[in-house]
Each structure stands twice: as structure tokens, then as C-alpha cells.
């Protein structure tokens, strides 16, 4: 069996499903080879002059292709802070860790970055950090990411240029933060007008960089309600609608209870947090709302009616003690959900880790009263909180992988193009290598001296241990619970090889 990818547009032109052991995984994975045509200008598969490279997934090494992961919420400038959050919660974390690191991406005219192809005036450190973010996320199989940058246009444009040159599909957002009552004096827009005109200049840069938006697109990014004045929110809503199709929008919502209380105080005229965004036409079908831990039933109803999307960031919600988002309720109510790493509220740039954490936190949901959401009956309400029953709130491995791929694709409004291997979809993919079953050494009772390295070469990869008895379903489960970037052998975006494990 083979899978054919057009060199012209990187789309899947045809495939021949070789039987996966378990039909339920056909939607998500293929163990077939795919064909990479090295001569794009010939645009075809028939001619003698076409050089064809066939990439096989090795059965013995337990390799398989999987749709690229979609990170629907990540802060690129916070990458230096990965793992640094202490015991803070959202509002003090922003003040202590986040605004200081982001403020360092400002213009340093005396230190030009020296690369003529890249936007001027961004500090060299921005270049280095952003390059590392893109390389790192690609190495974890993230083929598409929706990035928050900083308020600084040159550095934000650098991030767009780096995604474009490394070949990562990306939405790039300059954060808007013009409210002097919330933003620190050292890191804020001068005014609403300044915020909007800086945003326009980022949009122009990205539209010139990638006129068709094939790989990189701008996304409007009011950081969250407390950082924005009403004129800024209003201006952004209007700016989105100036374009055809309207621009994507991303923000945070109802992550933390103190934040919810603050928004109530800052916007007393609004019915609730979601209504603040809705008043300014910022809840659209291209809006990504990160966290949504504490939405009320009324707010969820509004989000669903506007067809706005939710980015579930479980690692971050646990790290900052924000709570557990009720993903099952979102899905039951017909709200579209994808996964976000939320680096560096989240401690990991890996969407596989986000999938794992989505499974884990969903298992806690029924057990803690404070996680209770109105309108759903939890295990403890039936008096059997400590019974190991599978409650409906629990997400399965398959569901978490769905959120990481097809769910994320729907969140970025690209469900027809990304997230699976359907004919006509774009080949954004990763080759996963779980590794071979470990061989028994010739004399297992003899201490291994120089044998260890050869075992590593032929045996397991990373933390995944296979014993040869696993079904494909079980192998996938082991991947989700024990896998990491060591299992990501190669990554393609639109048919282009963008990462290969060295
Ligand atoms: N709310 C406003 N800004 C941020 C941020 O940078 N990260 C998270 N997790 N929440 C936010
Ligand atoms: Fe965030």
C-alpha cells in the first residue's frame, strides 16, 4: 500500500489502506509508505524524470505515520521560562515571571540582528529564542501552532519569518495590552490606537511574507480582557471583519477564579466574561479561547452559538492550579475543542504531553467537589467518588489524540485540510518509531559490558517498551502514556521534511 502526496500542493492525492489491525485506528493512522517527489516542477508521478523517494514505516521497528499535532495555544516568548513557575497562580505568575520575560523582546536598535532577510530591530535574543521554539515544537511533532508573541512588532515578525523558513504552519499573534490599570508600565502599549496600528503593521508584514497564507497567517490577539481597554477591543473586532475571510482571533478566557472576579470588576456592564468579548464581536467561528475552565452554562451556550473554539490546556491548568476544564461537557454541548501546551503556564512544549494530561485531569474531574460544574452529576454526588468506575467525564486515549489532531484542526478552522489522512487533506505528518521488541542477550546472566549500546540501537526507543504481544491499539496507548520526542523520527509539513531525528 502507498499514500501519494502531490509535490505541487502537499495534498494527499490517493492512498491504499493497508490493513491496520484495528479498524478504529484507520481514521488516525496509517502504517503505509508515503511517496515524496523530489522534483516539484514536474508536478506528476508518471514521467521518467521524476525522482521518487519512498518513505517506509518499518514494521519491525513499530513505526507508523500519524497526523501532525496541532498546538492551539502556545506563548513563544515564554519559552525561556519553561519549568519556572514556582507555586504561583495566574495573576501573580503574570507579574512575577511572564511580563518580565516578554518585555525583553523589545527593540534594541544598537544591537541589530545582522540577518538581512529578517525584520530589523528585533533583539538577537528574540531570534535565538524563537528559532529554538520552532525547532523544539517541530521535534515534538507539532506541525501547526497558534502562537502568542509579545507587544513588539519586529520580534513578532521574526517569529513569523522563522516559522515560514523552517516550514511550520503557524498563526502569529502580537499581543494587545493597552490597559494601564492592569499592564505594568514597562510592558504595555502606549494607547489603543498604538495597539491597533502596531497590529496592522504585523498583519502587513505577514501578508507580504506569505501572501496566500499557505503556511503562516496573522491572528488578532487581545491578550485577555484585563489587559485591554474597550476601544482596543472594539478596534480589534472591527479589524477582524475588515478582511475576507475575517481574521482569526485568539485570547484567554475564564482560566482562574481571581481573573474571573477581576473581569467582573473591570467590565461591570457585561453579563459575564464571554459577553465582554461578544460585545466587541470577538467571538467568531475563527476565535480560539484558551482555558475556559470556569465558564458558566450561559457562557458555554454563547460560545457554542458563536461557534467559537476552545483550546484545552490541561498541563498549564494543573501547573498554575487553575482548575480542570470540563471537556466532556464542551463536547456533549457541541463546542469544538483542541489541545494547547500553553507554554510556559504549561511546562512542556509537547502536545503528546498535553494529550496525556487531558486524559489524566479528566480522571480527577468527578472526584473533587470544587471541580464541579453546574449541570452535570459527578461521582461524589452519588456517594461513590472513590469507586474506580469509568465516569463519562473521563477522556480515552483515542479521544485525547482526536483533540490533538482533528480537534485542533477544527479549532484553527482547517478541519477539511488538517488533522487526518483523508484524500485531499494536506500531508502534515509525523513518523513515529516505537522501536523493536528488546532481544534477549546471548547470556542474560552475564553482566553486559559493551553489549549495551548495541541493544539500544536495535531495541526500544525512549521509554516505550514493547514485548511483541501488543495489538496496534495497545501500542498506541503505550505511545501516549510513555512516548516523547525520541519517538518522533521525522516530521513533514505540506509534504516538506521539516524535522528528522538526528
Ligand atoms: N492570561 C493572560 N496572559 C496569559 C498568559 O500568558 N498565559 C496564561 N496561561 N494565561 C494568561
Ligand atoms: Fe496562555
For domain 69-351, give the fold.
TIM Barrel (3.20.20)
Burial class (CB in 10 A: 0-12, 13-18, 19+), 496: middle
Atom 11, ligand 1: which residue's CA is nearest? 252
What's residue 230's pLDDT? 98
What's residue 479's pLDDT? 97
Name the region of 360 (left: φ>0; alpha: ψ -120 to 50; beta: rest): alpha
The CA distance from 495 to 266, in Å, is: 47
Ligand number nearest CA of 94 is 1
Do the strands 488-493 and 496-500 form a parallel or antiparallel pair, or are they unpaired? antiparallel
Q: What is the DSSP string of 284-316?
A: STTEEEEE-TT--HHHHHHHHHHT-EEEE-HHH
Count of Cβ atoms closer than 10 Å to residue 435 Cβ: 22
The CA distance from 384 to 187, in Å, is: 49
Task: Tell me if the bond preceding 245 is cis, omega within 30° of 0.
Answer: yes
Atom of ligand 1 nearest to the CA of 226: 2
User: Where does ligand 1 bind, in terms of residues with CB under 6 Å?
Assistant: 75, 90, 94, 98, 223-224, 252, 255, 316, 342, 345
Per-domain residue ranges of the chain: 2-67+429-500, 69-351
Per-residue pLDDT tens listing for the chain (502 residues): 456 677 677 888 766 544 344 444 444 444 445 555 443 433 344 433 334 456 878 889 999 999 999 999 999 999 999 999 999 999 999 999 999 999 999 976 544 555 556 677 788 899 999 999 999 999 999 999 999 999 999 999 999 999 999 999 999 999 999 999 999 999 999 999 999 999 999 999 999 999 999 999 999 999 999 999 999 999 999 999 999 999 999 999 999 999 999 999 999 999 999 999 999 999 999 999 999 999 999 999 999 999 999 999 999 999 999 999 999 999 999 999 999 999 999 999 999 999 999 999 999 987 765 455 555 555 445 554 444 344 789 999 999 999 999 999 999 999 999 999 988 999 999 999 999 998 777 676 765 555 454 444 568 899 999 999 999 999 999 999 999 999 999 999 998 899 999 7
- CA proximity to 2, closest of 44, 47, 45, 35: 35
What's residue 210's pLDDT? 97
What's residue 423's pLDDT? 86
Q: What is the pTM of this model?
A: 0.90
The CA distance from 91 to 101, in Å, is: 15
Ligand 2 midpoint to CA 340 (Å): 9
The CA distance from 188 to 195, in Å, is: 9
The cell numbers describing 498, all together, are 521539516
The CA distance from 399 to 480, in Å, is: 11
Atom of ligand 1 nearest to the CA of 98: 6
Ligand 2 is a single-atom ion; what residues have CB below 5 A from it?
A: 290, 342
Count of Cβ atoms closer than 10 Å to residue 24 Cβ: 11
Rg over alpha carbons for the chain, rounded to the nearest Å, is 23
Ligand 2 midpoint to CA 141 (Å): 20
Ligand 1 midpoint to CA 128 (Å): 22
What's residue 368's pLDDT? 64
How far apart, in Å, do the first and last CA atoms of the chain sit?
Answer: 28
What's residue 373's pLDDT? 54
- CA proximity to 234, closest of 299, 178, 189, 185: 178
Ligand 1 midpoint to CA 319 (Å): 13
Ligand 2 midpoint to CA 424 (Å): 32
In this prediction, does ipTM exceed 0.95?
Answer: yes
What's residue 264's pLDDT? 98
Amino acid at each position: 500500500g502507498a499514500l501519494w502526496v502531490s509535490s505541487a500542493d502537499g495534498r494527499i492525492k490517493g492512498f491504499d489502506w493497508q490493513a491496520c489491525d484495528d479498524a478504529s485506528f484507520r481514521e488516525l493512522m496509517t502504517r503505509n509508505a508515503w511517496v515524496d517527489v523530489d522534483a516539484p516542477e514536474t508536478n506528476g508521478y508518471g514521467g521518467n524524470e521524476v525522482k521518487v523517494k519512498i518513505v517506509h514505516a518499518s514494521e519491525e521497528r513499530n513505526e507508523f505515520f500519524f497526523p501532525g499535532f496541532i498546538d492551539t495555544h502556545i506563548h513563544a516568548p515564554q519559552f525561556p521560562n519553561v519549568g519556572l513557575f514556582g507555586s504561583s497562580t495566574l495573576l501573580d505568575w503574570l507579574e512575577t515571571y511572564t511580563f518580565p520575560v516578554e518585555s525583553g523582546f523589545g527593540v534594541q536598535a544598537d544591537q541589530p540582528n545582522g540577518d538581512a532577510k529578517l525584520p530589523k530591530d528585533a533583539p538577537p535574543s528574540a531570534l535565538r529564542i524563537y528559532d529554538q521554539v520552532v525547532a523544539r515544537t517541530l521535534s515534538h511533532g507539532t506541525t501547526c501552532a497558534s502562537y502568542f508573541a509579545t507587544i513588539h512588532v519586529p520580534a513578532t515578525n521574526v517569529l513569523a519569518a522563522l516559522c515560514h523558513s523552517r516550514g511550520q504552519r503557524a498563526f502569529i499573534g502580537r499581543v494587545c495590552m493597552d490597559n494601564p490599570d492592569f499592564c505594568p508600565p514597562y510592558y504595555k502599549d502606549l494607547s489603543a490606537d498604538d495597539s491597533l496600528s502596531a497590529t496592522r503593521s504585523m498583519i502587513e508584514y505577514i501578508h507580504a511574507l506569505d501572501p496566500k497564507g499557505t503556511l503562516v497567517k496573522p491572528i488578532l490577539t487581545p491578550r485577555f480582557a484585563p489587559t485591554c481597554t474597550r476601544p482596543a477591543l472594539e478596534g480589534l473586532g472591527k479589524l477582524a471583519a475588515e478582511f475576507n475571510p475575517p481574521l482569526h482571533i485568539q485570547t484567554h478566557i475564564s482560566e482562574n477564579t481571581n481573573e474571573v472576579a477581576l473581569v467582573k470588576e473591570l467590565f461591570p456592564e457585561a453579563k459575564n466574561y464571554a459577553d465582554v468579548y461578544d460585545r466587541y464581536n470577538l467571538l467568531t467561528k475563527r476565535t480560539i479561547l484558551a482555558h475556559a475552565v470556569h465558564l458558566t452554562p450561559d457562557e458555554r451556550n454563547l460560545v457554542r452559538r458563536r461557534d467559537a473554539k476552545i483550546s484545552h490546556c490541561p498541563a498549564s491548568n494543573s501547573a498554575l492550579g487553575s482548575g480542570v476544564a470540563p471537556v466532556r461537557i464542551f463536547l456533549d454541548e457541541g463546542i469544538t475543542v483542541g489541545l494547547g501546551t500553553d507554554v510556559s503556564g504549561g511546562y512542556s512544549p509537547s502536545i503528546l504531553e498535553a494529550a496525556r494530561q487531558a486524559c489524566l485531569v479528566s480522571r480527577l474531574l468527578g472526584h473533587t467537589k470544587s471541580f464541579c460544574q453546574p449541570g452535570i452529576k459527578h461521582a461524589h454526588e452519588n456517594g461513590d467518588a472513590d469507586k474506580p468506575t469509568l465516569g463519562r467525564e473521563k477522556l480515552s486515549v483515542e479521544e485525547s489524540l482526536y483533540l490533538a489532531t482533528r480537534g485542533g484542526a477544527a479549532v484553527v478552522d482547517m478541519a477539511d485540510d488538517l488533522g487526518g489522512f483523508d484524500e485531499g487533506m494536506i500531508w502534515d505528518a509525523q513518523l513515529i518509531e516505537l522501536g523493536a521488541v528488546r532481544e534477549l542477550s546471548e547470556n542474560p546472566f552475564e553482566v553486559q559490558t559493551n553489549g549495551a549500546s548495541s541493544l539500544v540501537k536495535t531495541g526500544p526507543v525512549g521509554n516505550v517498551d514493547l514485548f511483541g504481544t501488543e495489538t496496534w491499539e495497545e501500542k498506541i496507548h503505550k505511545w501516549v502514556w510513555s512516548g516523547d520526542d525520541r519517538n518522533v523520527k521525522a516530521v513533514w509539513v505540506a509534504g516538506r521534511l521539516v524535522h528528522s531525528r538526528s
